[in-house]
Amino acid sequence: MIKHQQSPNQSVFELLPDSQEMVRLLPMKQAFLKDDAFLADVARVAKDRSSLNLWWLGQSGFLLQYQEQHLLIDPYLSDSLSHKYAGSDKPHIRMTERVIAPEKLDFIDGVSSSHLHTDHLDSETLVALMEVNPKLKIIVPTAIIDLASQRLEVDKSRLSDINLKQSVTVGAFTLHGVRAAHEKLEYDQAGHPNFMGYIIQVGKFTLYHSGDTVLFDGLRDELSKWKIDLAFLPINGSDPARDVAGNLSASEAVKLAKDLTIGCVIPCHFDMFTFNTASPETFIDEARKQGQAYKVLQNGERFSLKGDD
* Tens place of pLDDT per residue across the chain (309 aa): 333 333 333 333 344 444 333 334 457 899 999 999 999 999 999 988 889 999 999 999 999 999 999 999 999 999 999 898 888 888 898 989 999 999 999 999 999 999 999 999 999 999 999 999 999 999 999 999 999 999 999 999 999 999 998 999 999 999 999 999 988 999 999 999 999 999 999 999 999 999 999 999 999 999 999 999 999 999 998 877 787 878 999 999 999 999 999 999 999 999 898 887 889 999 999 999 999 999 999 999 999 998 754
Total of domains in the chain:
1
Is residue 87 a part of any domain in this protein? yes
7 belongs to a structural domain:
no
Q: Is residue 17 situated within a structural domain? A: no
Residue 5 resides in a domain: no
In a domain, 18, yes or no: no
DSSP one-letter code for 106: T
pTM of the model: 0.90
d(CA 203, CA 295): 21
CATH of the domain at 225: 3.60.15.10
Distances (CA, A) of 230 to 206, 258, 267, 294: 7, 12, 11, 9
Q: Is residue 19 part of a domain?
A: no
In 3D space, the residue among 140, 152, 123 whose CA is nearest the CA of residue 193 turns out to be 140
What is the span of the domain harbouring residue 73? 32-304
Ramachandran quadrant class, 35 (left: phi over 0; alpha: psi -120 to 50; beta: rest): left
